[in-house]
């Protein structure tokens, strides 16, 4: 991994400013700009109560046309706001397009924050008029901070690889998400950039596969969002010369997305520990991922981790309801390196297992005993602070 976040790849600039939609101090409006027409791909929430910016951006990406930028606000989800919210989102797109100097059809839009509240669209228009996109790690961090809501820290990642053909390729990204995280493609937003040259169809296929293995494997509280969006822009500066180059690009893209997904899990609302779940021995990768996310999302498992209680039965119960094939007689469960169940209960060092559960990152592993496939998921513990945060969110 390298520094620079979403602005690490060549061909991109960014900027952030404060409008005042977010109660906390700091910027709450960000603009990510490609120097020239960029190929775009995206995945969006499958919620049937989608926010206006999701509908607008999804329609833009579906055309396959080039995109010049993404405008994002925090503090207001612009969801459940009726026709007025749609008009606000379109005005936000228009203002960003004027600032970039491109058609409105080349601008994507995203929002995050409180559902049911209207944007300060006049403030957004004024903020965008005075914004000055620049390059650099400092600017990338300001963009990452501007999209935060209940996040406690910005989330950034970037990777640079030398392709088999010899060219250097870079992928960068930033994300936000702390609560309402259980993506179905929480409020989760992720933005990715790359200097790769790839067509829209190919880019969409790569992103869809990467999202399935990374962002869709994060769960904080089991609540998906109305605004979930992952957007990827490719500047077209580095040619992919054949399938080996394409595979190297895909690996770099997945590494950045995986890092951002793990950062989201670690920063879950009220979280004190990240939970990493690995499932092996599954009949296929989809089943492995489903089982892993069921364990990571179990409220009982999360509570046990928070209390450092090595109750492997809660893990077994989660696996049992994951609706995937298992062999109960071959099932294996580990807490860290401690084997706790192997078809029958196993005598294990409970204090050692409890120490694992008190660590900053808690490793849980399950073998289903029915195949050779594997998958991962990431979550966090459940603390009283989560209840406090979400009982006061709109007040």
CA-to-CA dists, residue 118 to 25, 27, 369, angstroms: 19, 18, 51
**At 388, phi and psi to the nearest 5?**
-60, -50
Among 310, 169, 351, which Cα is nearest to 247's? 169
How much helix, strand and coil, in percent to the nearest 5, is found in the chain?
A: 35, 30, 35
Look at strands 229-239 and 189-197 and give their pairing. parallel
CA-to-CA dists, residue 248 to 10, 24, 178, 199, 243, angstroms: 18, 40, 30, 16, 9
Active-site choice (187, 193, 194, 294): 187
Pair 245, 164: CB distance under 8 Å: yes
Q: Let me know the angle formed at the C-alpha of 103 by 97 and 104, rounded to the nearest 5 degrees.
A: 60
Annotation says 294 is catalytic: no
Rounded CA-CA distance 200/206 in Å is 10
CA-to-CA dists, residue 385 to 272, 283, 356, 388, angstroms: 10, 38, 22, 5
Rounded CA-CA distance 228/219 in Å is 13
* Dihedral (CA of 365, 369, 370, 373) sign: positive
Rounded CA-CA distance 26/17 in Å is 8
**N-term to C-term CA, the chain:** 39
- State whether residue 47 is helix, strand or coil: coil
Rounded CA-CA distance 128/146 in Å is 13
* Residues designated as active site: 187
């Amino acid at each position: 991994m390298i520094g620079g976040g979403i602005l690490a790849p060549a061909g991109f600039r960014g900027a952030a400013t404060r409008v005042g939609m977010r109660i906390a101090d700091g910027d709450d409006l960000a603009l990510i700009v490609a120097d020239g027409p960029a190929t775009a791909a995206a995945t969006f929430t499958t919620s049937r109560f989608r926010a206006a910016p999701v509908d607008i951006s999804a329609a833009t990406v579906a055309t396959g046309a080039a995109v010049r930028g993404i405008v994002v606000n925090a503090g207001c989800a612009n969801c459940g706001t009726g026709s007025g919210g749609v008009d606000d989102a379109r005005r936000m797109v228009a203002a960003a397009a004027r600032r970039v100097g491109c058609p409105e059809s080349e601008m994507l839009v995203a929002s995050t924050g409180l559902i049911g509240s209207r944007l300060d669209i006049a403030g957004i228009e004024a903020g965008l008029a005075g914004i000055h996109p620049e390059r650099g790690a400092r600017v990338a961090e300001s963009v990452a901070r501007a999209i935060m809501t209940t996040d406690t820290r910005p989330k950034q990642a970037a990777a640079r690889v030398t392709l088999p053909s010899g060219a250097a390729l870079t992928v960068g990204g930033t994300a936000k998400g702390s609560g309402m995280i259980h993506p179905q493609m929480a409020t989760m937003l992720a933005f990715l950039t790359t200097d790769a040259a790839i067509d829209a169809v190919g880019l969409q296929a790569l992103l869809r596969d990467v999202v399935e293995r990374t962002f869709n494997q994060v769960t904080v509280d089991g609540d998906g969002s109305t605004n979930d969006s992952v957007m990827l822009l490719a500047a077209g500066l580095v040619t992919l010369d054949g399938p080996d180059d394409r595979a190297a690009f895909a690996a770099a893209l997945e590494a950045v997305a995986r890092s951002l997904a793990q950062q989201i899990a670690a920063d879950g609302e009220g979280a004190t520990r990240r939970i990493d779940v690995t499932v092996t021995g599954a009949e296929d990768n989809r089943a492995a991922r489903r089982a892993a996310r069921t364990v990571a999302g179990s409220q009982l498992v999360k509570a046990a981790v928070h209390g450092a209680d090595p109750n492997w039965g809660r893990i077994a119960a989660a696996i049992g309801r994951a609706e995937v094939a298992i062999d109960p007689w071959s099932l294996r469960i580990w807490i860290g390196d401690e084997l706790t169940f192997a078809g029958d209960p196993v005598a294990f060092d409970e204090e050692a297992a409890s120490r694992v559960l008190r660590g900053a990152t808690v490793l849980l592993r399950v073998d289903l005993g029915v195949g050779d496939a594997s998958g991962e998921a990431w979550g966090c513990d459940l603390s009283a602070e989560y209840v406090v945060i979400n009982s006061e969110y709109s007040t």
